[in-house]
């Protein structure tokens, strides 16, 4: 799965429109979670916990 596909799935997990993924591309917090191998569901949970969502 590409980073952008992963971001799109994170958006779905968070109930956000998929186009919001474009805004997330430059935020290293998301790329760090992707590179650590988190699933989109895990990344969404981290985002909720850390106040990103």
Q: What letter would DSSP give residue 19? A: T
Question: 14 pLDDT band (50/70/90 cuts)?
Answer: very high
Tell me what pLDDT residue 30 has. 97
Question: 8 pLDDT band (50/70/90 cuts)?
Answer: very high
Collapsed DSSP state (helix, strand, coil) of residue 1:
coil
Q: Please give the Cα distance from 13 to 42 (Å, whole number).
A: 9
Place of tokens 């958006």: 11
pLDDT at 52 over 90: no
* Structure-token pair, residue 7: 């971001």
pLDDT at 43 over 90: yes
Identify the helix (H) or strand (E) that includes residue 42.
Answer: helix 40-49
User: What average pLDDT is seen over the chain?
Assistant: 95
């Amino acid at each position: 799965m590409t980073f952008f596909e992963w971001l799109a799935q994170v958006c779905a997990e968070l109930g956000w429109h998929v186009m919001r993924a474009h805004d997330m591309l430059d935020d290293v917090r998301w790329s760090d979670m992707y590179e650590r191998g988190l699933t989109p569901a895990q990344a969404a949970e981290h985002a909720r916990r850390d106040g990103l969502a």
